Structure 1
Amino acid sequence: METPMPPPKSPPSKSSKEPQRIAKLLARAGVASRREVERMIEAGRIAIDGKILDTPATLLKSLHGVTVDGAAVAQPIPAKLYCFHKPAGVLTTERDPKGRPTIYDKLPKGLPRVMPIGRLDLNTEGLLLLTNDGGLKRQMELPSSGVERVYRARAFGPITQEQLEALIEGITIDGMRYGPIDANLERRTGRNQWIEMKLAEGKNREVRRVLEHLGLQVSRLIRTAYGPFALGDLAKGDVLSIRQHDLVKFRQTLK
């Protein structure tokens, strides 16, 4: 009689106490994105028990004893999401070597440490989402998540609705492939017009490059929505906190 084989062992589950890279832990704690944390480590801004950290490969079970610029890092708090109406003329970055104003100069006092989800270039205004959760930031920025962004562009030059509709097939410009764009001509005054564009990739300066490739001069660009979150009548420089219920519901829809 054969001895029955023992059942196969299940793979060990990943414990929350398992050591993780410090950049991942700090991102979850809302300090900064993983990439920005790595830059902070290179700059000598992060320490453990008073010793300056010199490698992002450090593994930790918790953030106990970790400081950033000499200040202790608090334990992670629940993910939060904010809508910010970014004005034109400010950079989507923490600091600028040239001393130009950044979004952090414009944010109201009292906000927790937040990081932008995606970017808006210097002269683009409108909706910029902010979060304290590095995982949510990364998830929303990934093209595979398929989160739609909506822009309105004021542009000068001749264009037809047929030309805009062709963008739904995507377009290649100087070797760079841009995915499908749902573009519609809203209204026209002389050779100036407002164009609405919906896309899910959000490559660097994508809207401007596509419209300039079509022979248009963009004089104003506004992001009006990111996923289900809309700019609405939020005043420039103001911040709106997304309700926790709405954030949880939205995260359930992400791929």
Structure 2
Amino acid sequence: MTEAKRLSRCLIEAIGCSRREAELYIEGGWVTVDGEVVDLPQFPVQNRQVQLLPGAKAEPPEPVTLMLNQAPGLDETAALASITPQSQAAAFDIGKRVLKGHFRQLRCLAPLQPGATGLQVFTQDWRTARKLTAEFGKLEQEYLVEVQGTLQADGLERLKRGVAAKGQALPPVKASWQNETHLRIALKAPTPGVVAQLCTAVGLTVVSLRRLRLGGVSMGKLPLGQWRYLGPQERF
């Protein structure tokens, strides 16, 4: 019985490239085994057809940032586990080849408010990670807040000026009604629970909280539980 070989070895023998080139081709999603893309250089191959796709480049794959419309009841770990090739939003397909490597070493550096759903960001791109780490406090976050209760007189103006709750001064925010039961609130560097405190201070109780935007990046009409790639022209 013939012993299985590593995919990288099979590619080296097939096209005469170096080991490093073989690894780059494979990790970049340019190599198929019996017609299916395999991006693991150590993948065992035995009596199967290995091919290099047209246009292949022996370059490291570009790191990615993924935007998820996080469903209710998920923490960061469960939200990350929900990101699979099958849960990509078809309507937001920008033509980027989906690689298994895109789901490795993802970090969440822009946490949602406690109990919130909506826009969650996972990245393996050091440039995005640096931006979110160094400037997170400067990025405006916009939430759609479902509320119940009766807004106090001049409640929106008070939110815009800044209110006090239990002797603590809360920051001024941008606030407007989207409809009879939903407020849009935008603020920078929200501390845990601050949106609920803001609403309570003007007579409202938060029913649900959904992040719509982080800095200059909006979730748009991304379906619940699905994800998309950060576009090349989008900037936080």
TM-score by length of 1: 0.55
Shift of 1:169: 2.1
| Count of equivalent residues | 158
Aligned twin of 1:150: 142
Match of 2:133 among 118, 138, 158: 138
Deviations 1:121-166 (Å, cap 9, x if unpaired)? 453111112222332330242x2xx211111111110015721121
Measured in 2, the distance between the counterparts of 1:156 and 1:223 equals: 18
Shift of 1:78: 5.6
Deviations 1:71-90 (Å, cap 9, x if unpaired)? xxxxx986532211111101
Deviations 1:51-88 (Å, cap 9, x if unpaired)? xxxxxxxxxxxxxxxxxxxxxxxxx9865322111111
Matching of residue 239 in structure 1 with residue 215 in structure 2? no
Measured in 2, the distance between the counterparts of 1:218 and 1:233 equals: 23
SS of residue in 2 equivalent to 1:153: strand
Aligned twin of 1:108: 84
Matching of residue 166 in structure 1 with residue 158 in structure 2? yes
SS of residue in 1 equivalent to 2:132: helix
Distance 1:171 1:131, change over 3 A: farther
The answer as to whether partners of 1:91 and 1:121 remain within 8 angstroms in 2 is: no
Letter of the structure 1 residue corresponding to residue 79 of structure 2: I
Task: Say which structure is richer in helix.
Answer: 2
Letter of the structure 1 residue corresponding to residue 214 of structure 2: Y
Letter of the structure 2 residue corresponding to residue 242 of structure 1: L
Deviations 1:149-205 (Å, cap 9, x if unpaired)? 1111111100157211211222333454432201112222xxxx2111011122112
Aligned twin of 2:75: 91
Measured in 1, the distance between the counterparts of 2:204 and 2:143 equals: 15
Measured in 1, the distance between the counterparts of 2:112 and 2:67 equals: 13
Distance 1:161 1:238, change over 3 A: farther
Aligned twin of 1:180: 172
The runs of 5 or more residues in structure 1 that have no matched partner are 1-75, 95-101
Measured in 2, the distance between the counterparts of 1:170 and 1:219 equals: 22
SS of residue in 2 equivalent to 1:164: helix
TM-score by length of 2: 0.59
Deviations 1:17-47 (Å, cap 9, x if unpaired)? xxxxxxxxxxxxxxxxxxxxxxxxxxxxxxx
The runs of 5 or more residues in structure 2 that have no matched partner are 1-59, 86-99
| Range with bigger deviation, 112-121 or 77-86 | 77-86
Measured in 1, the distance between the counterparts of 2:182 and 2:140 equals: 19
Shift of 1:226: 0.9
Shift of 1:211: 0.9
The answer as to whether partners of 1:107 and 1:238 remain within 8 angstroms in 2 is: yes
Higher Cα radius of gyration: 2
The answer as to whether partners of 2:147 and 2:183 remain within 8 angstroms in 1 is: yes
SS of residue in 2 equivalent to 1:139: helix
Match of 1:228 among 211, 216, 219: 216
